[in-house]
Amino acid sequence: MTQQYFDFTNDLIFRWVMEREENCLAILRAILPELKITAVKRRENEHPVNYLAFDDERGVRFDAIIEDDREQFYDVEMQVANQLGLGKRVRYYQSQIDQETLKKSEHYDALRESYVIFFCAFDPCEQDRRLYQFHYYEDTDRQLRLPTNSHVILINALGTKGQITPELAAVLDVMNRRRDNPNPLAVSLVKEIDGYNQDKKRRRALMNLETRLYDERKLGLEQGVKIGIDQGLTQGRNEGRVEAIQAALTFFKDQGQAPTEVVANLSQMFHLSRQTAQNYYDQLTIK
């Protein structure tokens, strides 16, 4: 049986990679070469956005807050599932940086330059661009920009358009499990991630987290299906079943599952033939 491989998009793997300041520096320089960053240090976030406790670790922080040599701050995130509310999530992370970096008794004008950076395993804006950058602009005059000293960068691992550095392209290759990129950064990251997969203690932590997340997803799905069925029963059993299947299909797609995997899971959960499950997938996806 082939052993499961945990890649760069895994929450724990990403955390471990970003715990090393040399990785933080290399990745930030790959994204923002124009800043000419020469040194960074990790900052522990006092208000973690996501936290999971399990046996071998005190917890998992999914975000990496980094300070460079000019007191500019960066929050680097890995986003795998294309969930609703990405803009509000970015806004929340921005508020976390401001809370983390504004020292006691400091006025708001002491807020540092900050960057919220999301590595996305999907296209967040559906424009096929590899990198999107956002700022505040006046609605009727796009030349007028509000100087908030804050930046939002969304990086699309699936994109093909737009110029990016060879180093950032190397990071995206690692995200996409392409192991043949000779760029030194890609080689280094692949080697490090392979090491985490082979380390017994870290692998046990990875498996524990995977089990916890699976249990949470399963519980959430069961609750969603039950709600769909309960609501549907007021309109008739057939409509309730369709709503339950719709809830399950939406959940599986939000988890980033491939169409064939979604169909297989629908077939198993609702005791459908593969063809019937495929028909439901086609009909409900069109809707």
Asked, for residue 154, whether it belongs to a domain, the answer is yes
Kindly tell me if the per-residue pLDDT of 54 is higher than 50: no
Which of 78-87, 151-160, 203-212 is modeled with the greatest confidence? 151-160
Q: What is the pLDDT of residue 75?
A: 93
> How far apart (Å, rounded) are the C-alpha atoms in residues 268 and 285?
19
Asked, for residue 3, whether it belongs to a domain, the answer is no
- Whether residues 229 and 185 fall in one domain: no
Asked, for residue 172, whether it belongs to a domain, the answer is yes
Kindly tell me if the per-residue pLDDT of 108 is higher than 90: no
- Whether residues 253 and 171 fall in one domain: no
Asked, for residue 27, whether it belongs to a domain, the answer is yes
> How far apart (Å, rounded) are the C-alpha atoms in residues 62 and 46?
13
Q: Read out DSSP for 235-271?
A: T-HHHHHHHHHHHHHHHHHHTT--HHHHHHHHHHHTT
Structural domains in the chain (count): 2
Show the domain range for 126.
11-198
> How far apart (Å, rounded) are the C-alpha atoms in residues 219 and 73?
37
Asked, for residue 244, whether it belongs to a domain, the answer is yes
- Whether residues 193 and 206 fall in one domain: no
Q: What Å distances lie between residue 157 and 65, 131, 212, CA to CA?
A: 21, 9, 26
> How far apart (Å, rounded) are the C-alpha atoms in residues 119 and 70?
23
Task: Report residue 133's pLDDT band, with 50, 70 and 90 as the boundaries.
Answer: very high
**Strand, coil or helix: what is 134?**
strand
- Whether residues 97 and 173 fall in one domain: yes
Kindly tell me if the per-residue pLDDT of 209 is higher than 60: yes
- Whether residues 153 and 206 fall in one domain: no
- Whether residues 66 and 193 fall in one domain: yes
pTM, full prediction: 0.70
Of the given ranges (26-30, 57-61, 178-182, 258-262), which has the lowest mean pLDDT?
A: 57-61
Residue type, 24: C
- Whether residues 121 and 246 fall in one domain: no
- Whether residues 38 and 174 fall in one domain: yes
Q: Read out DSSP for 135-191?
A: --B-SS-TT-B----EEEEEEETT--BS---HHHHHHHHHHTT------HHHHHHHH
Per-residue pLDDT tens for 23-38?
Answer: 999 999 999 999 999 9
Asked, for residue 161, whether it belongs to a domain, the answer is yes
- Whether residues 274 and 262 fall in one domain: yes
Asked, for residue 4, whether it belongs to a domain, the answer is no
Per-residue pLDDT tens for 135-145?
Answer: 999 999 989 99
Kindly tell me if the per-residue pLDDT of 287 is higher than 60: no
| Domain closes at, from 182, 198, 214 | 198
Q: What is the enclosing helix (H) or strand (E) of 64? A: strand 64-68
- Whether residues 190 and 206 fall in one domain: no
Q: What is the pLDDT of residue 144?
A: 96
- Whether residues 145 and 281 fall in one domain: no
Q: Provide the percentage of residues in the chain whose pLDDT is more than 90.
A: 48
Per-residue pLDDT tens for 266-285?
Answer: 777 777 888 888 888 888 77
Q: What is the pLDDT of residue 195?
A: 95
Q: What is the pLDDT of residue 218?
A: 62
- Whether residues 147 and 281 fall in one domain: no
**pLDDT, averaged across the chain:** 83
| Domain closes at, from 198, 230, 251 | 198
